Amino acid sequence: MRKVNILGVVFLLLLSILVPAVNHPVQASNYPKIEKTIPAAGDQHVPIDTDIRIQFNSNILKISANYIKLFVKTNGTYTDLPIKTIRKDRDVLNIIPEQSLEFNKDYLVQINGPAIELENGTYSQSLSYEFSTNYIDFYELMVINEQRLENLLTQYTPREIKAFAPKRYINEINVTHKKPGAFKEDQTSISGITNIDITTKSEDVKNVHVEILKNGKLLQKGYAHSLNEDKGQKNTLKFDIGFSKMPDFFDVHVTALDSSQKIIDSKILKFATEEGKIINTYKESFKYKTEGKGYTLHELLSKESLFSDFLAESPLTDIKVQVEDK
């Protein structure tokens, strides 16, 4: 009888150990938790056009936006990154910042306290994770160190590797150059004058700087003047600058700068005076299909014309590559 009692106790003990273990997965799925974050904690080379998403194990019912924060690391310290909207899509929480992510920054996502109410309860744990939008140079992958591209392709598929063309701001450069000499009907000798008009996008552009070079040597330089007359033109700005005593053959290096004097676009144009002409004009207009856009390697390699445009429209050294886990 005693033996039966002991067996019974052992059996009960075994049950108490085994039953919770068997039921554990069911219990866990009912307990509010995060299934996945995109980007994942510690992710590097995160594409700047990525969405910040957090997937829970149950549908989201209510969000307390006050508990959800985004930070960007600037000069070693984290500063608040304003959030435009926080959206729920079934079990996924989408955090959309006011401004798109920038290259080469560290971002911190934070959820505190009872921020999310799910169908299976309130997610009240604290969550904090970082990701980085650093990048790889396209030029390095494609020209200097092609082995690195091969290595990258062992980790990511062409659909997960994304190349971003830089934004372009210079729309047009127009050079009018008058050689030193006299007009036929005007006997007065006029020294050589060169006028350069530059049209840019109005967005972000504050200043335009022009350098005149010959055989790599800087001859003259200066900031172009903003022309008020062109203010009627929507979305564009017009600048001009004049030089004298210029040679007949020279390079015009134009840079567009933003309000913090950061170079946001540059163009080099070659000017070559034609023989027999006193006044020479040369205009180059720039039109872009790919500027500011991101394309997967798969897209570029499968569409020849797109890849051609992509390579032709941006300096290779300005194209940035990032990767995403799908």
Partner 1 sequence: MRKPLILLMMLVIIVLFPGILVGQASIEKVLLEDRTIQDPLKSWSVTFTQPVNKGTIKKQNFYIIDERKRELKTKLRVSEDESKVTITPESPYKDNVQYYLHIKGNVKSGKTFLNEHTILPFKLETRTSSNKGTNKTSGTDKKQVSANTGKSETNTSKSETSSSSKPNQKNKAKNLTSVQTECHSHFVEITVNVSDQVAKVKTGSDEFEYKGNNLFVLYKPDLKKGEKLTVKGYSISNKVLETKEIVIP
Residues that bind partner 1 (CB under 8 A): 142-143, 146, 149, 213, 215-216, 248-249, 251, 253, 268-274, 280-282, 301, 304, 307-308, 311-312, 315-316
Cβ atoms 307, 141 nearer than 8 A: no
For residue 179, the minimal CB distance to partner 1 (Å) is: 13
CB of 106 to partner 1, least distance (A): 31
Compare residues 33 and 148 and give the one whose CB is closer to partner 1: 148
Short-list 113, 73, 111, 120, CA closest to 93: 111
Residue 168's nearest CA partner among 306, 301, 307, 309 is 309
Q: Are 135 and 321 in contact (CB under 8 A)?
A: yes
* Minimum distance of partner 1 from residue 153's CB (angstroms): 10
Residue 81: DSSP 8-state? -
Shortest distance, position 297 Cβ to partner 1, whole Å: 9
Smaller CB distance to partner 1: residue 86 or 142? 142
* Least separation in angstroms between CB 274 and partner 1: 6
Q: What gap in Å lies between CA 271 and CA 279, rounded to an integer?
A: 12
Dihedral (Cα; 44, 47, 48, 50), 10-degree rounding = -110
- DSSP per residue over 277-296, as a string? -SEEEEEEE---SSTT-EEE
Distance, CA of 316 to CA of 144 (rounded, Å)? 11
Q: Is the Cβ of residue 31 or residue 249 nearer to partner 1 in the bound state?
A: 249
Nearer to partner 1, 13 or 268 (CB): 268
Residues near 287 by beta carbon (within 8 Å), at least 6 away in sequence:
none
- The tokens for 274 are 């034609």
Task: In angstroms, give the least distance from the CB of 50 to partner 1.
Answer: 24
Q: How far is the CB of 201 from partner 1 (least distance, A)?
A: 20
* Per-residue burial over 201-220, b = 16 or more CB atoms within 10 Å of its CB, e = otherwise: beeebebbbbbbeeeeeeeb
